[in-house]
Chains A and B, each alone.
Chain A
Amino acid sequence: MTPFAEKTLDRIRQERLAPLPSWLFRSIQFGWWAGVGSMLVLAGVCTAIAFHIAFELRWNLLGRNDLGWAAIFFLSAPLVWLFFVLVFILLGSYAFRHTRNGYRHTLLVIIPLFILASLLLAFVLEYSPFDAIVENFFLRAAPLQDLPESLIQ
């Protein structure tokens, strides 16, 4: 063994260094993947809300003659939710780049895939029973007059 290797081994022995446990590294990787998954879910939910506002609320607003075009645009355009979608996609892409093999892919590939996955998730959420559950919750909780039961699915 070379003197350099002996010197380094001496330091390892003196400082009582040992390899860190495997579970620590597995936990770190799990954390990054959990980050990817949670950001994807959040992006999907925000995309679903954005579509809901854009396509369903708009119809309710178009009949309102007291509102100008600007008011209709800002009330129906899901700008805030799209901003959150962008934030979650960027955070999810960052987390993906830190997974074991994530560095091999460019953002030009990761971000479009994230957008596609968010759209798919949004589609599933929009047409799943989950959509009705959330809508009914807000209908019941909203401070409005008594609503006819026919409006609640």
Chain B
Amino acid sequence: MPSSLEDLTDQELIARAKDDPEMFGLLMDRYAEPLLRFIMRLTGWGTNEAEDILQETFIKTYRYLNSYDPGLKFSSWIYRIAYNQTIDALRHEQARPFMKALPVEEVAHLLADQTDLEAEFLKQEAFEKLQTAIYALPLKYREVLVLRFLEEKDYDEITDILQKPKGTVATLIRRGRKLLFENIQQISA
């Protein structure tokens, strides 16, 4: 028996939220921060714009509660909804300059395993160019790199979030990293 509402699992909160919206508020508290970060990382937009998308995400999640499949991780499901809402927003909005949504340590994490490049690009003067390189990537590569290296999702979760086969996800990650490093090397040249 959970000692408090905070100890309830996502599935238990969902079951209660169908009848009591206040329970849905607890789910929102649990996922608001990570989802907001995810939306900002994907779009490069500021907090206000990302919060608009986040609110639409939660509204849609509430409306679609009865479509949730318990065989799927709830986090993957809600990330999927956030991803779809973000893509819709990106399509509808005109191109806007990205904000500095990625702090230095996150950029470094994206470049993990490329230690020579990592040292080079932690310099602030190169940082802005690096941000440009990341956000210049086609969306299909940026989204998998953000999910894998910044959100630290595993391949199964990324498959469920993006609704793409695992092999496709692996290929996109490999190609995305290669393209990112090529862009970075061009910038550093």
Contact = CB atoms under 8 A, between A and B. Distances in A.
B63 A17 contact: yes
Interface in B61-102: 62-67, 69
Given A4-B51, A104-B166, A106-B167, A19 B62 contact: yes
Interface stretch (B20-28, B107-115, B140-148, B180-188): B20-28
Interface string A109-152: 00000000000000000000000000000000000000000000
A105 B165 contact: yes
Contacts of B105: none
Interface stretch (A20-28, A43-51, A70-78): A20-28
Interface residues of A, number: 24
Contact of B21 (A7, A12, A21): A12
A117 B48 CA distance: 52
Contacts of B159: 103-104
Interface in A1-56: 1-2, 4-9, 11-13, 17-22, 24-25
A18 B64 CA distance: 9
Contacts of B58: 8
Contacts of B4: none
Contact of B63 (A1, A6, A20): A20
Given A11-B55, A19-B62, A20-B63, A4 B69 contact: no
Given A2-B32, A4-B32, A104-B165, A9 B55 contact: no
A-B pairs, top 5 by smallest CB distance, nearest first, are: A103-B163, A25-B67, A5-B28, A19-B65, A22-B66
Interface of B: 18, 21-22, 24-26, 28-29, 32, 51, 54-55, 58-59, 62-67, 69, 159, 163-168
Given A4-B28, A103-B163, 9 more contacts: A1-B29, A4-B32, A4-B54, A9-B21, A17-B63, A19-B18, A21-B66, A103-B159, A104-B165
Interface of A: 1-2, 4-9, 11-13, 17-22, 24-25, 100, 103-106
